[in-house]
Structure 1
């Protein structure tokens, strides 16, 4: 139930409870202090003033009694008048004090005692004038008799009534003092008890709130420590639905561990796939290297054949020139010319065979170039797959935040290698296209050369069959020899062009071989990066 409150609400609730307890303590203390204050006020403004007035009136009565006695005994009239004035002053003071005391009495008992005081005062009041007359006339005996028999009893009754009121007020004062002391002791006891109970309750509330806050935080700290050590295993403890921030943090950390576990598992799987792809790419690169080596050898062989063809064409051209020079003596050298024509036919057949062999090699070269194109297509597909895997790894690393930064760097390196591999594959594709175009041109040129050679061969056979007619057809032979010379010149140019094209093919084969070597190096680096990524991922225990 308490988990449905936030940490702020728990703290506010705990502090509110403490504030309420403090307010209760303050109210109780204020109530008791108010009671003590009322008792003190009652003592100060009611009990004590009445006692003081009673005591002062009684003391004045004693002074009056002594003044009357001194006046009775005095012989000097001035002293008698002085005593009378003093007595009147004291009487006036007593009347003022009694008038002041009367409104202060509120209880029936107090008013009854005050009535006795008033009665004693009234019974004493008529005695003063006769007593003053006796004192002024110096009737000492009569005055003494009146003093002892009339004045002294009334004065004593007056004092006795005052003392009764004073004793009652003193008793009430003592009760008020005792009540104030009891209230003070009760206040101290209640304050101490309430403070102790508040302290114990505050400690209990503090322990409960701290346990509610620190318990999920402690579990979260242990879980974070496990994640720090690379331990992503273990089952998540069920956390009930709550609004407590500490429990929300614990739930989020458990979800983060589960997400990290899935991400690391995905990284390990991707690393294995990248490693397998790198090994496959390395094998394909080796196959491409072997094909490039075969292509280079075939190109070298074709270049040698073309060189031989060029030499043969040059020889035929030389022979044709020589035949042209000796055409004028064809009549005399018919037999010798027949042998030379037969020799030319054999050489032309040799050239035909060489050109045909070269054409077959070129066709084989075209097929091998097509195989290289297929391999390059596979390399491009592997590079695209690697780039896609690197992109997925980068996305997962970005989701991981600070923890996946190392994975993002590895994924970026893998992506760069994949892009570089794609670029190399595109360059190889362009080179293969150029090679195929050059080979097509060579094949076309060789076809033309083959047609020309076959034409020359037919002409030579006709010359062999018509050798007997050479003597009569010298002019025709001259024109035929000139035609052969032009065809051989064209064949020489075609042969030179074919040699240059084969040289280009050879250079392209070398560049292709270098590219394949670079591709093999790239696949090795990709394999090493995959191994490094696997070693980083194996740091975590799933």
Structure 2
């Protein structure tokens, strides 16, 4: 924009200088026209002088008829006619007429006058040539200036149109940036919600990770208890085996006791009256042996049931142990998943926070761009005003150059006319 200001300032300065030159050209044209008028006056003066010379010559002829030969008078008259026709190379006085007579002095005076006229004619021819050349150069310069002014007007109009387009484009860009800023503000609001959600998810993942760790510890404790229960079941199985062996011994003892009681009863029966007391004891022993056998059978049945229950319990404990081990694996996987979720939640939180910071920075940059765009619009509008002023000045300059061009055309015509007239005057000997 500073370059454009410098350019327009230089252009305005050029127009002012051109105006000054144009004013000088007008002054020069006026001066040359004045000189032409003076030259025309001198030509008229020369004509008048020639006419006066002829009149004087005529009077002199009348006066000298009585004193000089007619031949010299006729020669001077013919030379005066040649002078009147523009031949300034003639010589009136000759060697035969250089005496101190009135005729001789008259002819010498006429030679001096012709010499003076010859000098004036030479000066007029030189002035006419210079005037014609200068006028033609100025006319060409004026024409070039007019062409340059037209180019400047066209360039300024194109520049003004370009500046208007830039202003419109800048306004459109500002509108788009405003829409982008509003969209980014909405995104920022959504990102704030996402940030809150990420923080909440981070906390939930941390809590889930803690619960999973607690569950793993609990499952390991359950697995320990199941292992202890399995050990106790094994011990219980061993003890029930021992009890079963003991009941087998008791059953054998009961059977033997029952057999002994039967033998005792037989012997008591043989003893008759003397063995009646022993028969009662044998009957009680037999009864006790039967009760012992029944109790032992019940114990055996109970032990069988206990063994079956212990077997079922052991099988269930084995299944529970397998399930607990599976549960421990699943809980450990869940803990790993919660750890991954927690790590991902941390990354999401970090990314969302970074995006929010970038949105803040982008919003600041957009605000800066909008502010700078407003400043650019002001500068472009100022440049447009400069371009309008330059176009107006160029139009005024073109009008002035048109007037100067017309005056220069007239000056060239007058100068060429004067040059033609001076060329008709013969001044070289």
- TM class by shorter chain equals 0.3 to 0.5
Q: Give the TM-score of the pair, scaled to structure 2.
A: 0.41
